[in-house]
A and B are shown apart, each in its own frame.
Chain A
Amino acid sequence: MNGNNAIHIKDLTKYYRGNQEPAVDKVSMDVSDGQIFGLLGPNGAGKTTMIRILCGLLAPTGGTVTVGGYALDKDIHKIRRIIGVVPQEIALYPTLTADENLVVYGGICGLKKYELKEGINRWLSVFGLEKSRHQQVGRFSGGMKRRLNLIAGLLHNPQILFLDEPTVGVDVQSKNVIIENLMEINKFGTTIVYTSHYLEEAENLCSHLAIIDQGRIIARGTMNDIRKAHNTEARLEDIFLELTGKDLRD
């Protein structure tokens, strides 16, 4: 491990093929163990690119990254064993039941049969899906899919959990149960890296925040740090608009 840093990023840069402008531009930051770290920014700011790089889905153009103390460019296989990822998309197999989806994902993450059974029972119960466990996911409502998508990422108790817009498009009840349980998971030591457009949700959930725009970090720290740095008592949304402007983004 690199000190107490769950994630250490130095000069991380990413250019997409054919683009002159970097999607991520020499970003350096640390996420400490046990933090709930919010990565915020307007559309196209570079949040998802950063998450995809940290998960090993994209190779960075430059910079160094360690996740859980393992270098991304050398120990990607070790990193995959300690992380959990909840992507923005509903990354589930619609013709498989909830149970079968979790057996597949949990099994791939190395859970043994009894661990799988226990974990699946527990999390389906926590997220109110136990009655639908034998139903094909394609027949689930949007909120149910979103909750199951979350379970698939945290079933194996990862050290570090990446969440890319986990509450997008869900009702208030589903959102509430997701947020409550993320806080609960965090209490047991899981580091959470979280991106969202819901700033109020981020303000309540995250212990630390970074605002990213055009591939650069433009503010970071706790909510109080950010307020102090900008000498304001305003809400996060107001600070965000002040920093990123009111122009529409693609």
Chain B
Amino acid sequence: MAAMTLRHMVSIASALGLVICLVPLTALAQSRITVLITMPTPATAEFTDRLRNELDRASGLKVNVVTEEMLSADRDSLNDDSLVVAVGVQALLQASKLDPRRSVLGVLVPQPSFDKILVDSRRNPRYFSAVFLDQPYPRQIALIKSILPKVSNLGVLFGPTSLQSSYLLQQASQASNLTLIQENIYATDELVTKLRRSLETSAVLLAVPDPLVYNRETAQSILLTSYRYQKPVIGFSQAYVRAGALAAVYSTPQQIARQTAEIIRQHLNKPQTGLPPPQSPKYFSVDVNRQVARSLGIEISDENALSDSLQRIERPLP
């Protein structure tokens, strides 16, 4: 862990060093990638390292890391023609305020947040795209089908934000012959009542990201209530699995970085076409809480096997 931390710190330092050295040479750089971060975190470091590795190995592209702080201090520190990769909602919001001609790719951003920023900034979607944090519903349905093959219905609590994409889930569940038991929540007060109602009938609760429904404060109540009803919860992040969800499909920063690098290379090859449309994570992992599984009496196969099985469903072997 310490080595990791040290390594990250070295990377960050070198990145910062690069930024400082290259600023006077911006005119010379034809294709540069600037990673905008709110502040250095292990996740950003993981992302940046992987991204740099991917790009350098393939095309010798240099990655420049800039924090919001540095950006606000010197707006000219960004090259006019460089691609900005904004890590996180906050960084994306910041990047949206840059020159509209500049290409911005948001990563590690929930789809609703991206949509909102895109609308608010009125930027051209050709130069403002993202790799979402959210896993596509079919993938999640596939996970449920993999670990709980016998379930026939599925409980979902939608909040105001997540409700916009509820039709996607409905489609996905229908495709998998699952009955979607949907509860819409518009205020925190309704949570417990609607959660109980949902749990009374549904076999499994699928958590979809929504700040109103699934936040730090409600997490325990939802998990405990589900547990009391002996109904598993399928989370949307690794943290959710650690907190007590039965399983989750998610993407790590490295997986996102790999996907990001592919997008960047593709974009640099054909700059005139602009950025590809926003897309869900291409690479993902599955995590299972074995303790919860044991408590609920559910037999689950290996995470890698699950992951591979999901991969095969999405991209059948040629």
Q: Do these two chains interact?
A: no
B interface, CB within 8 angstroms of A: none
Residues on A facing B (Cβ under 8 Å)? none
